[in-house]
Structure 1
Amino acid sequence: MRESLLIHVGERPEQPIHWLVFNAVEDEVIASGQLQGADALAELSEKAQHRDCTLILPSAQVQLQSVKLPAKWSRKLAQALPFMVEEQVAVDIDTLFIAQGDAYSLGEEHFINVAMVNKQWLAHWLDMCAEADITPAKVYVDALLLPEPAEGRASVLALTDDCFIVRHGAWLGAQLEATWASEFLTAAQITALDLYSPLAEIPTAVEAHSHEDKFELPLAMFAKATSPVNLRQGAFAYKKKSSGWIKVWRPAIAASVVTLLFMLGVKGAQWYHYSQAANATKEQVVSTYEKAFPGTKVRPHLLRNQINKALGDSGSSDSARFLVMLQDFADIVQQSEQFVTQTLRFDQRRNELRVGARAKDFQSFAQVKARLEQRGFEVEQGSLNNDGESVVGELRIKGAQ
């Protein structure tokens, strides 16, 4: 797991902001500190690079509720959720963002946990983080990061001398001030406190149990905790930022892909064309062999052996001379994908094979001519004509005398 940056903000932008860099693998605090306010968030820009960023909100700005449902949780109920909680809030429901927690059942009754926060307030903090090049993937509520207490108890963590947060259930939390903390604890029927930091003034009428072995920086405790809800959902869902080089090279990559697909299409069409031409040439060779040796059964995959055997049986006959030339010519044509045979005629008197062909360019004719001459044939090249995107012409091949 990578290192993480936690940022704990206050209710107002001008209040101090606490931050901490934590390494979960080593269970180690790398660095921590305090900013004077939101205007100083840019000081954390470098620390946010290549780290998982978490924004932690104060409980005073988030209202936690368990909403009773008419049926089991579904998408239809999600659309009706604002109407279900409207009567339980003192502000215009349209100003609130409702984050959904877990849905659960108690007997025959169904519930869902929700966390409600002012839309404009949350958007403002996320905008300020974005301006500082900080992109929190998670947004948590501070009280819900405290250990979940037993019934009738509350987990307590001091933020300042006169302010602390409490968690008094799986989905219950609050931010308290010393002046009215006792009244809240009594109303919430909390009889005992589990302290995870020193508390300047312990409220009356409750027992306090100090867990000194677990005392540490508040953000260090938050870094190790698991939150039951992430407020980055719905309209505030986290969108992973693309790497800078991808944005720069995206047009070039797209153009390369299009070019590659086009080239594959062209190559595929060429392969199909040459495959068809090879099949046509093969059929011509088989047809010519059958005419030269009537009554024989041609096996295409054994044609070379059949020709060699026929040559041995025919000696120096005209058919043998023709087959020698045809065999060599077929070998050479197979080596040149750009050269396609269109007609074959054998002049027995001249011992000459006349080939009408179509090729990609003049050079293709020259290559076939040169290869035939290397086999000992005398080759005359007829007139060549440019026919659009290809060249057509004739070769006259004479066997050795």
Structure 2
Amino acid sequence: MRESLLIHVGERPDQPIHWLVYNPAEDEIIASGLLADAAALSGLTEKARNRDCTLVVPCAQVQLQSVKLPAKWNRKLAQALPFMVEEQVTVDIETLFIAHGNAYSEAEDHFINIALVNRQWLQNWLEVFAEADIAVVNVYVDALLLPEPEPQRASAIAINDDSFLVRCDQWQGAQLEPGWAASYLTAAGIEVLDLYSPLPSGELAIETQSHEDKFELPLAMFAKATSPINLRQGIFAYKKKSSGWIKVWRPAMVAAAVTLVFTLGVKGAQWYHYTTQAESVKQQVVSSYESAFPGTKVRPHLIRNQIKKALGSQGQDGEAEFLMMLQDFADIVQQSNEFVTQTLRFDQRRKELRVGARAKDFQSFAQVKARLEQRGFNVDQGSLNNDGESVIGELRIRGE
């Protein structure tokens, strides 16, 4: 798992910024610190390299709601959602960004959890991080990263000397000051406050329960938590940047791809040419066999065995010798990609197979001649003529 960099900002750029580097594989805090304001964010640029950066925003800037739906959540309802919540907000709905959380049902009623945040405020923060060359992968709401409490209870943790965060249920949170915290908690129906750090001094007027074994820095708790919503969605969805080396090598990669396609095309054409040539030679062998042995059924894939049997039954007469030469010649031609047979003629009197052919060069003729001689044939090479891009000539093939 990749290490993560969490950065907890305030409502304004001139407020202090807390940061923490966390290794989830080892459950270890690598480093943490405090920046004076947003202008110092460039000091975290190197720490953000090769780490997943999460921006944690204050819940005071995010309005959390559960909206009752006329039907189960679907794409059409997502488009109609701004009109459904317009009367529940005191500002122009066009200035708000609506992030979608979990959709759920209770009995026959359907709901969707949403988070509303000022569109320009969120855009400004993302631009500040972009200027510092820090890629923000996630945007979480701080209060929703506290432990989810049981009914009539709330989780709380101090974030500075004069305020603390509370999470009242799965989808409700707030940043409170001691002077008016009691009123909020009473109105929310909270009977017990679970403390995950010492709180700023002040009378809460409700029961508290300290979990001292779980006391830790807010960002350390946030790093281990699972957020029920990521504000990095819709128009603010994270778009992964292409690696720098891809940009540098893209022209070469495109050129290589074009070359590969071209090469495959040429090889494919050559394969088709050679396959056609081999098929033509095979048809000549079959045709010659049928002429030599009328009335027999030819099986092309067994032609070698058929010729051997025919030779055994017919003896080494002229027709048999012709077939033997033709079969061996066909085998050798298939091994030579640059040798194309144009004419075949058997001289019955001289027991000689005469082959007219076209080849790429003089060496191709020499290679075919050498291979035939390795099979035990006597081969005379006629005159060879250079015809521009190829060589035309004749081979005379005789048995020993």
Flag whether TM exceeds 0.5 (same fold): yes
Greater displacement, 272-281 / 3-12: 272-281
Contact 2:362 2:384 in 1 (8 A): no
Partner of residue 384, structure 1: 385
Distance 1:287 1:363 in 2: 30
3-state SS in 2 of match to 1:190: coil
Distance 2:317 2:110 in 1: 100
Deviation of 1:138 after TM superposition, in Å, equals 1.4
TM alignment of 1:2-401, pairs within 5 A: 2-311=2-311, 317-373=317-373, 375-384=376-385, 386=387, 391=390, 393-399=392-398
TM-score (norm 1): 0.90
Distance 1:330 1:185 in 2: 96
Deviation of 1:311 after TM superposition, in Å, equals 4.6
Deviation of 1:384 after TM superposition, in Å, equals 3.2
Q: 1:331 to 1:26 in 2, by over 3 A?
A: closer
Q: 1:168 to 1:370 in 2, by over 3 A?
A: same
Deviation of 1:336 after TM superposition, in Å, equals 0.6
Q: 1:399 to 1:172 in 2, by over 3 A?
A: same
Contact 2:163 2:200 in 1 (8 A): no
3-state SS in 2 of match to 1:149: coil
Deviation of 1:31 after TM superposition, in Å, equals 1.0
Distance 2:176 2:113 in 1: 22
3-state SS in 1 of match to 2:124: helix
Instruction: Return the letter of the residue paired with 1:341.
Output: T
Q: 1:376 to 1:151 in 2, by over 3 A?
A: closer
Task: Give unpaired runs (5+ residues) of structure 1.
Answer: none
Deviation of 1:312 after TM superposition, in Å, equals 5.4
Distance 1:313 1:152 in 2: 104
Deviation of 1:246 after TM superposition, in Å, equals 2.6
Greater displacement, 302-311 / 268-277: 302-311
Greater displacement, 96-105 / 264-273: 264-273
- Number of residue pairs aligned between Structure 1 and Structure 2: 399
Deviation of 1:8 after TM superposition, in Å, equals 0.5
TM-score (norm 2): 0.91
Distance 1:223 1:86 in 2: 34
Deviation of 1:129 after TM superposition, in Å, equals 1.8
Deviation of 1:55 after TM superposition, in Å, equals 0.9
Q: Percent identity?
A: 70
3-state SS in 2 of match to 1:160: coil
Distance 1:196 1:250 in 2: 51
Instruction: Return the letter of the residue paired with 2:273.
Output: H
Distance 1:246 1:363 in 2: 46
Contact 2:377 2:397 in 1 (8 A): no
Deviation of 1:177 after TM superposition, in Å, equals 2.2
Contact 1:290 1:296 in 2 (8 A): yes
